Chains A and B, each alone.
Chain A
Amino acid sequence: MISVRHLTFAYPLTSTASLWDVSFDVPAGQFCAVVGPNRAGKSTLCYALSGFIPHFYRGEISGEVVVADMVVAATPLAALVGKVGLVFQNPFNQITGARMTVRGEVAFGMENLGVPREDMLIRVNEALEMVGLSGLADRSPAQLSGGQQQRLALASVLVLRPQVLILDEPTSQLDPLGTREVFTVLARLVEAGGTTVILVEHKLEWVGAFADRVIALAGGQIIADAPPRDVLNSPEAAAAGVGQTRYTQAARRARESALSTAAGALPVTLEQAVRFFSSRSVDEHIA
């Protein structure tokens, strides 16, 4: 569904590339998380997958990005938006400000794609339901809290039913309940609808529990690309600034201080941590 080949990109007037020779493929229906420190190139990658690079953000680009059988650089944004959706990091950048109600804002994209009115109404309600904003459909977008605006930005993209959904830290302003809801919605879209999800996220516990795969970026390059646990517990990724859950940190400390003889990979999630700390090795039983 996504194929990135030797992608290098530098913004104008910068001396270093934001992405450097990045290559990867994502099959349809995969839930792929992208992690890494700030300025690793995560947002730039989101723009390159959704066509904002090179159609909106200019710069020096080489390599090729193909999404949903479209060569992104050769496909106008208007043709991309029906298939590829991007949820911006800052919801204030997503919301048009051209509509007076939440309902109108969610419908905005479909109006531009010429969706029949009856379908629009059904799809708007469905999208608002998914993000938990049904009760606020008639409120002005400007009167929403940061967390509510973030949900609105997500709804306005979900309503277009993109095959490929790209999200740049969509839960940064959400409480734990809101975060859980967003991850649950994404998992449902992947499982039921076969949507391909690319999610940039710092909340590693959630990434560990939900993603099929994790790509770690640092300094514009892919430094790891593997199942979540293999990336999130690796000392190399931690050294590159990816971070680690407290579960991983506690397990590593326990192992280093010989307080645990559990074999195998360090845990990333609570479930894995419970198994790690509950397991006793054979010689411990004998002792």
Chain B
Amino acid sequence: MNISLEHVSFNYPAGVQALSDVSLDIVAGESVAIIGENGAGKTTLARHLNGLLRPSSGRVLIGETDTRTLTVARLASRVGYVFQNPDDQLFERTVAAEVGFGPRNLGLPASDAKFAIQNALERVGLADEANSHPYDLHVSQRKLVALAAALAMTTPIVVLDEPTTGQDAEGVERLGQIVDSLKADHRTMITITHDIDFCAEHFERVVVMAAGRILVDGPAAHTLAQAAALAQAEVEPPQMIRLARALKLDASPLTVNEFIEVWRSNRTSTRSADS
């Protein structure tokens, strides 16, 4: 299911223009990270995808449908949205009931719903906590419950708002694996994040926003190497690109593995030049 934003502008009631003429096309199965400073319009943009916000001008298409013609409830079967703060989202008495709320409301048959719940809990590693009260879990686990609740709806599009906030090293790694497995299922993944290394390691395409506009949009290695545009958005390149730059290597490695390969070939070539 493709997504298309056509010349979208949005003004909050107080008059602040949070999006100015934003156009963006996302093809089904793409993984896209939206980065930029606090207040750049990232969350405002994401909330246009599930209809929580409707454009002041321009239009948003989810599939072939203009979001203005669908209710948030109808859009919920197409776009799963995971809030930054899980406590904005969780309200049931058990983890299983919470994760089952979406499938039940989408009218899935009981057996399908059960399968979807089990599958979502296994994906986030919380199968053993199905009967726990969400608020007995650590906040980092509640975030995973919120994610499972969105995944259980098996929407073709999943939006993650700051998924790594408050997660420890293991939690971030698990989130990366979840994103990778959803990509393998050809679900469209969209994230808003300040965690630039997470973005570099798991998202193919990066959109840089500042002051309600898109500054740069393209493949991660291309976008994250544009130091000037990133600086304008108050973002630093990922650690491995910064290291490569500081060592004057002519490459933009996104991951530790890529850096090691760049370093290996650079060493080989300088050695042969020395001899």
| Interface contact B260-A257, CB-CB below 8 Å | yes
State how many angstroms separate the Cβ of B123 from the closest Cβ of chain A. Answer: 19
Q: Are B260 and A259 in contact (CB under 8 A)?
A: yes
Closest Cβ neighbor of B240 among chain A residues: A246
Please count the residue pairs between chain A and chain B whose beta carbons lie under 8 angstroms apart in the complex. 104
- Docked complex Cα distance between A225 and B260 (Å): 30
Chain A residues within an 8 Å CB radius of B169 = 37, 202, 238, 241-244
CB-based nearest A residue for B275: A287
Additional A-B contacts beyond A89-B139, A177-B37, A250-B240 (8; CB < 8 A): A37-B170, A146-B38, A173-B38, A173-B162, A173-B165, A175-B234, A246-B256, A270-B239
Is A205 positioned at the interface, with any CB of B under 8 Å from its CB?
A: yes
Asked if A108 lies at the interface with its beta carbon under 8 angstroms from chain B, I say no
Q: Is A54 an interface residue (CB 8 A)?
A: no
Interface 9-residue window, one of B24-32, B65-73, B242-250: B242-250
A148 beta carbon closer than 8 Å to chain B: yes
Evaluate whether A38 and B138 lie within 8 angstroms (CB atoms) in the complex, with A173-B165, A174-B38, A259-B267 already known. Answer: yes
CB contact under 8 A between A176 and B242, given known A241-B170, A250-B260, A253-B256: no
Chain A CB within 10 Å, residue with most, of B85, B170, B263, B264: B263
CB distance from A37 to the nearest CB of B (A): 4
Contact of B168 among A243, A259, A273 (CB under 8 A): A243
Interface size class of B (residues with CB under 8 A): 35 or more
Near B by CB (< 8 A), chain A positions 142-160 give 143, 145-148
Contact (Cβ within 8 A) B84 A259: no
Contact B243 A247 (CB under 8 A): yes
Binding site for A on B (CB under 8 A): 14, 36-39, 84-85, 138-140, 162, 165-172, 194, 196-197, 234-236, 238-240, 242-243, 246-247, 256, 259-260, 263-264, 267
Given known contacts A146-B84, A172-B166, A246 and B197 CB-to-CB distance under 8 angstroms: yes
Q: When the two chains form the complex, which single residue of A145, A169, A249, A274 contacts B39, counting CB atoms closer than 8 Å?
A: A145
**Pairwise interchain contact A259-B170, C-beta atoms closer than 8 A:** no
Q: For residues 174 through 202 of chain A, which have their beta carbon under 8 Å from a beta carbon of chain B?
A: 174-178, 202
- Give the contacting residue for B243; candidates A172, A243, A274; CB below 8 A: A274
12 A-B contacts (beta carbon < 8 Å):
A90-B139, A92-B85, A146-B85, A147-B39, A175-B36, A175-B37, A178-B37, A247-B243, A250-B240, A250-B263, A259-B260, A270-B242
Residues of A close to B85: CB separation below 8 A: 90, 92, 146
Q: How far is the CB of B50 from chain A (nearest CB, A)?
A: 19
Given A169-B166, A243-B168, A250-B240, does the pair A175, B235 have CB atoms closer than 8 Å? yes
A176 touches B235 (CB 8 A): yes
Docked Cα-Cα span, A90 to B84, in Å, equals: 12
B residues in contact with A205, CB < 8 Å: 239
A277 touches B256 (CB 8 A): no
Residue contact B243 to A253, C-beta cutoff 8 Å: no
Q: Are B38 and A145 in contact (CB under 8 A)?
A: yes
Give the contacting residue for B38; candidates A39, A147, A253; CB below 8 A: A147
Chain B residues, CB < 8 A from A90: 85, 139
A254 sits at the interface (CB 8 A): yes
